[in-house]
Structure 1
Amino acid sequence: MTEEQTAFQRVITLSYTDVQVGKHGIDTAQFLEATDGTVNMFDLFGSAAFSVVQSDMSNNVSKIRARFLENPIEYNTLENLMAKEAHLKRRLATEAVLWLKRGLDFTAQSLEHSIKNPDEELTVSFSLAYDKTLKPYHNFLVRPIFNLAMNACPWRKDFYESIGVQTDESIQLMRSWLEALLRLIAKLDAVFDKNPAYLKH
């Protein structure tokens, strides 16, 4: 195991492949722990421009965790958390789940496109993913900030070296991580589709 690989494992302390999904939904505590690692991964980009992406996701994680810690048993899954919060006047955690899902979708699609297109720099992969995921929900003030971040992506070679994804084995590990994340996103998409009231704040 190389030093670069241990660096990736140190950031991603819990993989999305290990997040349990039961009959009542996605385990809240595990999902938040796995997402902490994703948020921390942006540190490896080495660009202050990405702080806006990282900060947005981190703030949403904090809002969900605050609600979860009020009653870890009652809010044991994201689905239960949102269902129970639906009766409240302010559904801050539900809104945070929505925006975190969008941010994670952006991240997942960016990295998935990058892995499938090894000749493209990260700027291309992240820009394409931004256009499909977050951009439709951003206003004219926010879009330039995110476009700046997309253009500030590190060189592909440097980034993959920093996270230790260079061998066939490590690439497959990352693919599994991404596939698990995309499955969780799809499950959350289905929840919001089934409960349109969750989108009203």
Structure 2
Amino acid sequence: MAANPDTNWLAKIEGKSFVNVSIDSANGDAINTEEFLQAARSLVTLFDILGATTFNRVIADLNTNIEKVQKRKDAAPAESETLQDLVRNELKSGQHKATEGLLWLVRGLDFTVQALRHNLDNPSSQLSVSFNQAYGTTLKPHHNFVVKGVFSAAMGFCPYRTTFFRKVDDKNAKAADNENEKVDPEVEARVSAGLSREVEALERVVKILKTFQATPEAQWK
């Protein structure tokens, strides 16, 4: 059975995901700011499937940092067409609110993409395992003791992998009753293929931005 474009998450973000973000390889892998922000907003909606209550802190942080970058772009559009230029020009002005927001946004995106990558590569793993592992290598080193506890507890409430795959394919699909319940092979193949495209695109964007953010021109301290 084909996916329903009205209820399939991958269909809903088509044309506004990280697959669609322009990267100018002739200009130092410059990333289009508006397309990036649109894709980031699309990705946030994935957490509605994962569980808005479980991931409310992640959702809030992502949205807050998206808005910080958006406000800078709106305030200085000619200087912010690419993310790299936005950072350079904001720092030249003596400010760093959007630059710091982008740093945290990239950390949040890295957390998400590492979790998805782990789960795609390890189909026998539950989402809680994938997200816990990703948290340990991305956000955890930057969180205090209290926040670490909140995140660690939240990861335990991830839906079953089968539920996640079903609801990416159809938001109205029935949740799995237990962790041993299997995904329909057609659904798994379709969702895996679509998520793999998104993950590969996001991995490239995250890698470019992490490399840039490590350079002296992206520092404000």
Q: What's the TM-score bracket when you normalise by the shorter of the two chains?
A: over 0.9
Percent sequence identity over matched residues?
34
Please name the residue that 1:159 is paired with.
Answer: 164
- Deviation, structure 1 residue 10: 1.8
Instruction: Tell me, yes or no, if the aligned pair for 1:85 and 1:94 is still in contact at 8 Å.
Output: yes
- Corresponding residue SS for 2:80: coil
- Deviation, structure 1 residue 137: 0.6
Matched, 1:17 2:19: yes
User: Which of 93, 101, 108 is the matching residue for 2:106?
Assistant: 101
- Using the size of structure 2 for normalisation, the TM-score is 0.84
Task: Please list every run of at least 4 consecutive aligned residues from structure 1 whose deviation after the TM superposition is greater than 4 angstroms.
Answer: none
The alpha-carbon distance between structure 1 residues 197 and 27, as it changes in their structure 2 partners (threshold 3 A), is closer
* 2:131 partner amino acid: F
Structure number with greater Rg is 2
Report the RMSD for the aligned CA atoms in angstroms.
Answer: 1.9
The alpha-carbon distance between structure 1 residues 17 and 60, as it changes in their structure 2 partners (threshold 3 A), is same
Please name the residue that 2:3 is paired with.
Answer: 2
Task: Kindly report which structure 2 residues correspond to 1:36-55, keeping only aligned pairs within 5 A, or say none.
Answer: 36-55=41-60
The alpha-carbon distance between structure 1 residues 197 and 82, as it changes in their structure 2 partners (threshold 3 A), is closer
- Deviation, structure 1 residue 4: 7.4
Instruction: Tell me, yes or no, if the aligned pair for 1:75 and 1:81 is still in contact at 8 Å.
Output: yes
Return 5+ residue gaps in structure 1 as ranges.
Answer: none
Aligned residues: 200
Deviations 1:135-189 (A, max 9, x none): 0011112101111221111111111110019342431221111011011111011
The alpha-carbon distance between structure 1 residues 142 and 196, as it changes in their structure 2 partners (threshold 3 A), is farther
The alpha-carbon distance between structure 1 residues 45 and 144, as it changes in their structure 2 partners (threshold 3 A), is same
CA distance in 1, matches of 2:116, 2:190: 16
- Corresponding residue SS for 2:123: coil
- Using the size of structure 1 for normalisation, the TM-score is 0.92
- Deviation, structure 1 residue 90: 2.8
Return 5+ residue gaps in structure 2 as ranges.
Answer: 171-186
Please name the residue that 2:177 is paired with.
Answer: none
Identify the structure with the greater helix proportion: 1
* 1:124 partner amino acid: V
